[in-house]
Amino acid sequence: MVLCEIDNKFDISNPHGIDIKKCLVLPPIIHSFKNSYDNFEPKDMWLILCEDPVNNNKGMIVYDETEKSYGLAFKDNRKHSFGFTFIGHYEGFLDTLMNM
């Protein structure tokens, strides 16, 4: 779906200057995220793009199958909180990318 939406225009970027070719997670993987919309209960979503694929310290784009939408997630680096937190849905992949 992502490749169709970007139409093989890998030069598309966002305000952070993200390189889509380097940051796409291919093939996408299922990962558990704390859902900020549901008392931080774990929710499995597809990890589609990772802004920092080496350290996972920046934004991520996920796909929520139950909502059929893309969204943003971030690594939670607070002292007593570990893991990744889902923070919101967006219209499509490109909309999510631009709001990172």
Q: What are the tens digits of pLDDT across the range 41-64? A: 889 999 999 998 887 778 999 999
CA–CA distance, 83 with 76 (Å, rounded to integer): 6
One-letter identity of residue 75: K
CA–CA distance, 54 with 98 (Å, rounded to integer): 21
Residue 80 has pLDDT above 60, yes or no: no
pLDDT of residue 39: 87
Q: Cβ distance 2 to 93 under 8 Å?
A: yes
Cα torsion angle, 10, 15, 17, 19, sign: negative
Strands 41-50 and 59-64: antiparallel
Q: Cβ distance 46 to 65 under 8 Å?
A: yes
